[in-house]
Amino acid sequence: MTPLVLALFAGGLTGLALGALGGGGSMLAVPALIYLLGFSPAAATTAGLVVVTLTSVTALVTHAREGAVRWREGALFAAAGLVPAAVGGAVSGHLSSGVLTGAFAVVAALAAVRMLRPSASVRPDGVPVRAGRVARTGAGLGAVTGVLGVGGGFLAVPALVNVVGLRMRAAVGTSLLVITVNSLAALAARTGTTVDVDWGAVAPFAAAAVLGAWDGRRLAARLSASALQRTFAVALLAVALFMLVDAVV
């Protein structure tokens, strides 16, 4: 397949995953940019942030129209990750390709396992939200976003459920706000870096991802959420193992 077709195909899958699950799409975007389009890990994480930001905004609009976004809780959670995301974005440019690839593979594998074994716990309504715990969780998510160029929806959704106390539907929508804010902070920190990004390849990738996000939301309404999550997790685990072997070898 030509680079254009590959970009459109991979971008569509990325948007589909993010629109359907409220996160996880960027875990496909970075390896697709590396192995299908020939990006370096540093360039792929930067381009991945652009794709994640655009698709998250698109999906966020859809969820907001349905009243599934808790703006206050999401803003507080995202605020804790602003500085770590910016610092992580600046640090990422100084890491070697092997370190970035290996770290991404480990995080992707953890995300896949987390999706295969979702937590059923929800913070009881009578238990107060601990600001310190929210701040620590938001900061950790921001750091992951900054360094690896991923939105972190696979971490944000369960955190918003178990730490902030949102119901799953609201957590998925609100996670898109958190992802958008963290991705923008990480991108701002990378402005002016010497990473060479082929924006001609990123443009069709991002466009396909935006369209896929719309379809993903509709797909989620028709199919079992657990089945979608398991399918995506298995695919993500395979990608993670491939990247880990590649980083080691």
| pLDDT tens-digit readout, 195-230 | 778 888 888 988 888 887 777 666 666 766 677 677
Write b or e for each residue in 30-47: b if 16 or more Cβ atoms lie within 10 A of its Cβ, otherwise e: bbbbbbbbebbbbbbbbb
* Residue recorded with tokens 């509709």: 218
Residue pair 150/243 in contact by the 8 Å Cβ criterion? no
Q: How far apart are CA 76 and CA 15, in angstroms?
A: 26
| pLDDT tens-digit readout, 123-148 | 554 455 567 777 888 888 888 888 88
Q: What mean pLDDT comes out for the span 56-60?
A: 82
Q: How far apart are CA 120 and CA 156, in angstroms?
A: 15
- Lookup: tokens for 155: 């971490």
- Closest by CA position to 112, among listed 198, 43, 199, 17: 17
| Distances, alpha carbon 21 to alpha carbons 30, 193, 209, 224, in Å | 17, 32, 14, 11
| pLDDT tens-digit readout, 103-123 | 888 888 887 787 777 554 555
Residue 98: CB atoms within 10 A of its CB come to: 12
3-state class (DSSP) for residue 234: helix
Q: How far apart are CA 170 and CA 174, in angstroms?
A: 6
Residue 119: CB atoms within 10 A of its CB come to: 9
Q: How far apart are CA 228 and CA 243, in angstroms?
A: 23
Residue pair 59/213 in contact by the 8 Å Cβ criterion? yes
Higher per-residue pLDDT: 8 or 168: 8
CB hemisphere CA count around 140 (13 angstroms):
12
What is the chain's mean pLDDT, rounded? 78
| pLDDT tens-digit readout, 160-194 | 877 787 887 788 788 889 888 888 888 888 776 66
